[in-house]
Each structure stands twice: as C-alpha cells, then as structure tokens.
Structure 1
Amino acid sequence: MENLGFYNGEYDLIENMKIPMNDRVCYFGDGVYDATYSRNHKIFALDEHIDRFYNSAELLSIKIPYTKDELKNLLKDLVKKVDSGEQFVYWQVTRGTGMRNHAFPGAEVKANVWILLTPRSIKDMSKKVKLITLEDTRFLHCNIKTLNLLPNVIAAQKTEEAGCDEAIFHRGDRVTECAHSNISIIKNGVFKTAPTDNLILPGIARAHVIKMCERFNIPVDETPFTVKELMEADEVIVTSSGQFCMSACEVDGKLVGGKASEIVEKLQAALLEEFLEQTK
C-alpha cells in the first residue's frame, strides 16, 4: 500500500477511509494523539511514545480500547503493510461517537482509534532553521498531546507567511516550546531546556537529547529561560520526533547561535546513530 488509514479495526488507503460525522473529534477535538517515524518498517522509540499517549488519554479520562502491548503490536503490523519502510507513524484516540453534547457520553460509548501511515523521512539535521516568536495563548494543559491544535495551526500559518520554519511560544518573558517542537538553548557549555511542567509537552526527542548530554558529560539545566536568554544563547536548539536536534540561525529576523557548533554536531551524530541502530 502507498499509505494506510485505520479506524476502529478497518483499514484502507487514507483517501478511501470514511469517518462518522458524530465522532467527537469533529465537534470538540476531543482526543489525544502521538506520532513518531519508522525506518526499515521498524518504529523508533515506540515504547516512549506509547507511554506518553496513554498518559495524555488518562489526563482526559479517555479509556483506550487496547492495552499498550496490543496497540504496539497493531502499529508494528500495520507499518509492514505500507510499501515504503520510512514512514510518519501517527495515531490518535477520540472519546467516541454520539450526538453532539459537551458532556461526556456514557460508559457504553467506546473510544475511537485512528492510525495514519504515510511515507516520510526524518529531516536533515545539518539544515539551519529560521524561527519567529509568538505569545503563547494556548490553554494551561500543554503537557497533554490534545487534538485541539488551532493555536498551533495559526502559529504555523504565521510562520509560513514569515518565510520561517517554526514558531517559538512564550508566556510573557518565559519561553515555553515551539508550535510543533521543544525549544532549548546552549549557553557556556550548558544545555538548558524548560522543565516538563503543564506548559510544555514532554518531548521524546527532548528526552533523547538530554540522555546524549549525560553521555557526553554536557551539563543539563531544566529550568525556565527567557526570550532575552534565547536571543543571547550560544545555540538555539529545536527538537522533535522528525528532526531530533536542529539548530537555529535566525529568530525574528536576527542572527542567533553558531557559537557551539561542536556540541550540536556531537549531539546530532549520536542521535542519528541511535536512530539508525534501533531501526536497522
């Protein structure tokens, strides 16, 4: 298959799939999701993504109709049905299907599971990215990977219009995260990244970068940092499941980073090696 869409046990090409209008995702974005990549039909960091997925669902009182092992096995099986071994592996769960009502449906309504598999490769980490800053006006549960992504969509459009690659959110002077990524900085040899509180998503790639910092004895500081610190950092680092660790060259039209490239390159090489090893 060129791609694959899955909905509650049925699957076909994504363009052939039909979804009930009363799936609560249509009205409320009532669900959570997660995503990663595969190579050679092997899914990278699946355990960590599944753990985060179930945690997001639990925080919204959504009961996933599979055990963790069942869902992992399902994803592994479906990935093999797509021709390309390099895929963007996306899955989500919504609270269920029923007539529109803000209150949760009864316990008899089961959650809906979606899976979408499309050919896609991880990004080239040697490419420098351009960023913009935006006030973070999202709700106060950014640690949940909710399907309510309208603020992120608006940020992505503003990023596109600015000719940039990603938007950095900040609440007042505190930097939180990007529209689709985590944001960190390197200053005086220290890797500094926001704490995993309710204002950021606990990124899987972020966790892997921290692990690599520990391997190379690079100090890690998980405390909030400001927009001023960001602009004055030796390096500005964007991390996500599709790009692992990319450094920025520009924020709001001003040149940034480029002062600790040896640290960045060391982390990038180690992360790519880990990905290739786990998906060989």
Structure 2
Amino acid sequence: MKNLGYYNGKYDLIENMTIPMNDRVCYFGDGVYDATYSRNHVIFALDEHIDRFFNSAGLLKIKIPYTKDELKELLNDMVKKVDSGEQFVYWQVTRGTAMRNHIFPEDDVKANVWIILKPQKVKDMSQKLRLITLEDTRFLHCNIKTLNLLPSVMAAQKADEKDCQEAVFHRGDRVTECAHSNVSIIKDGIFKTAPADNLILPGIARAHIIKMCKKFEIPVNETPFTLEELMDADEVIVTSSGQFCMTTCEIDGTPVGGKAPEIVKKLQDALSAEFLKETDKVQEGII
C-alpha cells in the first residue's frame, strides 16, 4: 500500500478512513500522540517513543488499550504493509467515543487508537534553517504531547509566511522550544539546552544529541537560556525526530551561527550513523 491509516483494528488507505463524530478528539482534542520515522521498514528509537507516549497518556489519565509490547508489535507489523520502507510513523490515542461532555466518559468507554503511516524521509542535515521568534502563549503542560496544537499551528504558519522553517518560542526572555522541535545552542564549546521541565517537550532527538555530546566529551548544560544568548550563540541547533541536528543561519532576519562547524559536523555524523545502524537491523527477514 502507498500509505496506511488505522483506527481501532480497521485499516485502509488514509484517504479512505473515517472516524465517529463523537470521538472526543473532535470536541476537545482529548488525546496524545507520538511519532518517529522508519527506514527499511524498521522503526527508529521505538522504545523511547513508546515510553514517552505512555507517559503523556498517563498524565492525562487516558488508559491505552494495549501494553507497550502489544503496541510496538502492532506498529512493527503495520510499517511492513506500506510499500516504501522510509515512512513517517505517527500514532495517537483519544479518550474514547461518547456524547459531548467535558467530564470523562464512563469506564466502559475504551480509548481509540489511531496509526498513520506515509512515505517520508528524515531531513537532510546539511540544510540551514531560518527561524523567527514568538512569545510562548501555550499552556503550562508542554511536557505532555497533547493533540491541542493550535498555538504551534499558528506559529508554524507565521514562520512559513516569512519564508522561514521554524518559530522559536520564548516566555519573556527565556527561550523554551520551537513550534514542533527543540532548540539548543552551542557557545564556547558547551552544548546548552533548556531543562526538561513542564515548559518543553522532552524530545527524543534532544536526548540522543545530549548522549552524543557526552560521548564526545562536549560539556552539556541543561539550564534555561535567554533570547540574547540565542542570538549570540556560536551555533543554534534545532532537533526533532525528523531532523536530528539542523543548524540555523538566520533568526528574525539576523544572521546567526556558523562559528562551530566542527562540533556540528561531529554530532551530525554520529546521529546519522546511529540512525543508519539501528534501521539496518535484520528483523524477520527484512533487508
């Protein structure tokens, strides 16, 4: 199949799938999601994404109708049904289907599981990004990967209208994260990234780049940094599941970065090698 959609055991091409009007996602965005990529029909960093998914659901008291192992098995099976081995792998759970009511439905209403798979490659890390900055007006639980993404949608649209690829959020002078990525800086050989508190999503790619920094004995500082530090950084790094370590050349029309290319290249090469190695694994006759 060229792509694949899944909803509570039924699957078809994404464009053929439908959902009940009373799925609570329609009224409240009442659910959480996670996403990663596959190569050779092998899903990258699946354990970490599943752990974060279950954590997000737990924080919202959503009961996922699968164990972690069952959901991993389902996802691994689904990616094999799509023709292309390089896919964007997305899944979400909503609280259930019931008549509109802000209060949770009764316990016998099961949560709904969605999976969406489509051909897509990870980003080319040689590309440079242009960013804008915006005040972070989101709620105070950004550590939950909730489906309520309107502030991020509006920010991404504003960035696109300015011919930029991302928007950097800040609360006052403190930089938090991007509309759909984490943002970090390199200054004087130190990798600095916002702490994994309730104001940012604890990105999987962020965790991997921190691991690589420690491997190469690059100091890591997980404390808040300011807009001034962002603009004065030797490098501004944007990370997400589809773009492991992208550098920035411009923020709000002002040139930035480009002063620590050796460190960036070392991290990019290591992250790319990690992705290729994990997705080259032989699984049930694949490859």
Band of TM-score, shorter chain? over 0.9
List per-residue Cα deviations over 1:223-278 (Å, max 9, x = no partner). Answer: 00000000000000000000100000000000000000110010000000000000
State the partner residue of 2:97. 97
**Distance apart, 1:134 and its partner CA:** 0.3
Q: Distance in 2 between matches of 1:240 and 1:191?
A: 16
Q: SS of the counterpart of 2:192?
A: strand
Q: Secondary structure at the match of 1:239?
A: strand
How many Å separate the matches in 1 of 2:18 and 2:161?
A: 32
Equivalent position of 2:244 in the other structure: 244
Structure 1 residue 64: Cα displacement: 0.1
Inter-partner Cα distance in structure 2 for 1:195 and 1:58: 21
Equivalence map 1:81-230=2 (5 Å): 81-230=81-230
Query: Distance between the aligned counterparts of 1:31 and 1:261, measured in 2?
Result: 40
Q: Counterpart of 1:37?
A: 37
**Alignment match, 1:2:** 2
Secondary structure of the structure 2 residue equivalent to 1:168: strand
Between the aligned partners of 1:211 and 1:134, the Cα distance in structure 2 is: 29
Report the Cα distance in structure 1 between the residues aligned to 2:243 and 2:163, rounded to whole angstroms: 19
Match of 1:257 in 2: 257
Deviations 1:158-202 (A, max 9, x none): 011010000000000000000000000000000000000000000
Q: Does 1:80 align with 2:80?
A: yes
Q: What SS does the aligned partner of 1:92 have?
A: strand
SS in 1 for 2:57: helix
C-alpha separation in 1, matches of 2:92 and 2:18? 16
Q: Which 4+ residue blocks in structure 1 deviate beyond 3 angstroms?
A: none
TM-score (norm 2): 0.97
Whole-Å separation in 2 of the counterparts to 1:138 and 1:199:
9
Q: 1:74 & 1:193 partners in 2: Cα distance?
A: 34
In structure 1, the partner of 2:59 is 59
In structure 2, the residue corresponding to 1:50 is in which secondary structure? helix
Aligned length: 280
TM-score of the aligned structures, taking structure 1 as reference length = 1.00
Partner Cα distance (2:217, 2:82) in 1: 40
Q: Structure 1 CA distance, aligned partners of 2:9 and 2:148?
A: 24
Tell me the equivalent position of 2:46. 46
1:207, distance to aligned residue in structure 2 (A): 0.2
User: Mind listing any 5+ residue stretches in structure 2 that lack a counterpart?
Assistant: 281-287
User: Aligned equivalents of 2:30 and 2:139: distance in 1?
Assistant: 14
Alignment deviations for residues 133-163 of structure 1 (CA, whole Å, 9 cap, x no partner): 0000000000000000000000011011010
1:7-50 per-position Cα deviation (integer Å, ceiling 9, x unaligned) = 00000000011100000000100000000000000000000000
For 1:68, the equivalent position in structure 2 comes to 68
Matched residues in 1 for 2:213 and 2:265: separation? 12
RMSD: 0.3
Give identity over the alignment, percent. Answer: 80
For residue 272 of structure 2, what is the aligned residue in structure 1? 272
Q: Where does structure 1 lack aligned partners over 5 or more consecutive residues?
A: none
Q: Secondary structure at the match of 1:107?
A: coil
